[in-house]
Structure 1
Amino acid sequence: MHAIRLATFGSAENLRYETVEDPVPGPGQVRVAVAASGVHVIDTAIRRGVAAGPLPLPELPTIPGREVAGRVDLIGPGVDESWLGRDVVAHLGPVPGGYAEFAVTDTERLHEIPATLDAPAAVAMIGTGRTALGILQFADITPDAVAVVTAAAGGIGTLLVQYLKNAGATVIGAAGGPEKIDLVARNGADLAVDYFRPDWADRIRAEFGDRPAQVLFDSVGGETIRVALGLLAPGGTRLIYGFADDTAPITDEEQAVLGVSSRFVLGPPMLERAGGLRNLENRALAEAAAGRLRPDLHRFPLAQAAAAHHAIETRATTGKVVLIP
């Protein structure tokens, strides 16, 4: 099969499209003929040799990627034959191997793809979708709420905007550049602003000055969020789920002056509220299957995985990045 292999930690160019042996499923496992592989920002950190949260650095060489969707074409010992031929999606967990034409995983990780979803949409929801719903558990969203979403054209941001609008909230989506702003507006944001412009916060105040936000969704950090905090009402909350810019962290003193608070929502707190990852995965797939959430997809051929990583690292993508074998 063809796969992307990483033999040395470093730049995106270290991702090589190579021919390797087909994997064989072990006991309790299936092999998936991959139709779409998810690419995550964590993949880019691991590729550089930076440990990402609970995920250890893999032994090299490795095939990156932990999100796959496709059709089961081979089963291992002890696996029910009914899995053969089924279209499935899975998050591979701590074991990589997704950037390939075939991937193996345990049956307990499989979800059948709903009939209304294709493989790229399903792979977007199994990781990015579950995270978006996990984040939203910490937001008390009512129809009179005002929410600010940064990185609103990204994989998670796109879904947050859609969910918040479905809940009746007033949504302000901030992103960088005209193309991304157009996407944010198409997703239903009441106001889409370009945070590359120095007056972006002033534009929000001019539109909603009498209605400050109650919640700020932050995966950006840095000076952008320092400005965005000023859009929160006293008592407002910043929900943190990433640090695209960690060069200028917000201090407790700065937040105290504004009367706002922050909470990091990834990891154990999210899982405790959700009752586990699988519950979040089920909910994410169901929301997409029903058409309530529609992931935006940025597709690359599998052979161009290096280009996909480079695009993520330069913030040149919108929505969820997927590789198509």
Structure 2
Amino acid sequence: MRAIRQYAFGGPEELRLEEEMPDPHPAADEVRIRVESAGVHLLDTMIRQGRGGPRVAPSLPMTPGREVAGVIDEVGADVDPDLLGRRAVADLGAAGGGYAELAPAPSANVHLIPDDLDADSAVAMVGTGRTTMAILELAAPTAGDVVLVTAAAGGVGTLLVQATHSIDATVVGVAGGPDKVALVDRIGADHAIDYTRPGWPDAVREALAGRSVTLALDGVGGEIGRSALELLGVAGRLVMFGSSSGSLTELSAGDLFGRGISVASAVGARILQRPDGTRALERSALQAVTDKRLVPVIGRRFPLAGAADAHLALQSRATTGKTVLRP
């Protein structure tokens, strides 16, 4: 099979296409998926550099990629043979292996998907959609909320804009650059603001005409996250789900006690230590796309050989929605 291999931590150039890797075979409790789509994350770029989160324990050499969708073409000895030929999506866990034509997956991680759900959308929802469901579960937005979404043109951001718009909340989506702002506007934001322009928080205040943000959903952190927090009114809520800027949002005791702002993180330990695990979130996300309540935005599709280009695009903020590889 063809697969991306990485032998050293470092830049995108460490992602090398190998044309003749041995075909993997599933262990007793695994299935093998013939990959139609593999998800690419900003976290993947961190893993490539030797950094990562609580779920990641990379060892080299490795094939990156934690989510795949395709057709089950081989099953392990302890797995129901009726799964052969079924379309499926799976989180591969810390072991990775998704940037390849064939990927073993724990059978317990597999979700069967209907024929009319495309592989790219399934991959988007089993990972990015799962995170979105965790954010919404914690944030509990209502029709009365004024919601600010940062990085609103990203994979999670586009889903959050759709979800909060669908419950009749007032949605302000902020993103970087005119093309991204146009996308945020198309998917249902009441106000779409360019946060690369000086004074963008004032543009938000002007658009809201005296109303305060009651709920900020922030995956950027840094100065943008801090500005989002400062746009919150008294007793507002900040739910953080990332720090794509490279730093966390700076908080003070005055924010918490002086203004009564509540702050919580929807990812990290909270999502990993859920009593029922992440599988329920994955089911919820896949059901939402099956029912067409949410439609993931697939921004760029790269061939398997373009894995390094996909990483470069993510790191340079040149993507919108979900980025995928198509082996």
- TM-score norm. by structure 1 comes to 0.96
Instruction: Answer yes or no: is the 8 Å Cα contact 2:87–2:115 preserved in 1.
Output: no
8 Å contact 1:274–1:280 — kept in the other structure? Answer: no
Q: What aligned pairs does 1:16-35 form with structure 2 within 5 A after superposition?
A: 16-19=16-19, 20-35=21-36
- 8 Å contact kept, 1:114–1:285: no
What residue identity is the alignment partner of 1:22? D
In the alignment, which residue of structure 2 is the partner of 1:13?
Answer: 13
Matching residue's letter, 1:299: R
Q: What are the within-5 Å matches in structure 2 for residues 110-259 of structure 1?
A: 110-247=110-247, 249-253=249-253, 255-256=255-256, 257-259=258-260
User: For the residues of structure 2 that align with 1:272 and 1:137, how far apart are their CA atoms?
Assistant: 14
Cα pair 1:125 1:295 within 8 Å, conserved: yes
CA distance in 2 between counterparts of 1:274 and 1:36 reads 30
Q: 1:199 Cα deviation (Å)? A: 2.4
Q: CA deviation at 1:21?
A: 0.8
Distance 2:164 2:317 in 1: 24
Deviations 1:13-65 (A, max 9, x none): 11001121110111021111000000111111010011322311x22110000
Shift of 1:258: 4.3
Counterpart of 1:41 in structure 2 is 42
Q: Could you say what secondary structure the match of 2:130 adopts?
A: helix
> Is 1:304 matched with 2:303?
no
Q: Distance in 1 between matches of 2:294 and 2:82?
A: 29
Q: Contact 2:297–2:322 at 8 Å: present in 1 too?
A: yes
Report the alpha carbon displacement of residue 251 of structure 1 after superposing the two structures with TM: 2.8
* Residues 134 and 274, structure 1, Cα contact 8 Å, conserved in 2: no
CA contact (8 A) 2:163 2:294 kept: yes
| Residue of structure 2 equivalent to 1:92 | 92
TM-score (norm 2): 0.95
Q: Distance in 1 between matches of 2:274 and 2:137?
A: 7
8 A Cα contact 1:137 1:270, kept in partner? no
Shift of 1:246: 3.8
**Once superposed, what is the RMSD of the aligned Cα atoms?**
1.5
Q: In the alignment, residue 292 of structure 2 is paired with which amino acid? A: G
Partner of 1:318: 320
Worse-superposed segment, 139-148 or 278-287: 139-148
- Contact 1:31 1:104 survives alignment (8 Å): yes
Q: Which residue of 2 aligns with 1:82?
A: 82
Q: Which runs of 4+ in 1 moved over 6 A?
A: none
For residue 203 of structure 1, report the CA deviation from its aligned partner.
Answer: 1.4
Mind listing any 5+ residue stretches in structure 1 that lack a counterpart? none
Query: Whole-Å Cα distance in 1 between the matches of residues 248 and 142 of structure 2?
Result: 32
Q: CA deviation at 1:254?
A: 5.3
What SS class does the counterpart of residue 137 from structure 1 fall into? helix
Structure 1 residues 198, 286: closer, same or farther in 2, change over 3 A?
Answer: same
Unmatched 5+ residue regions in structure 2?
Answer: none
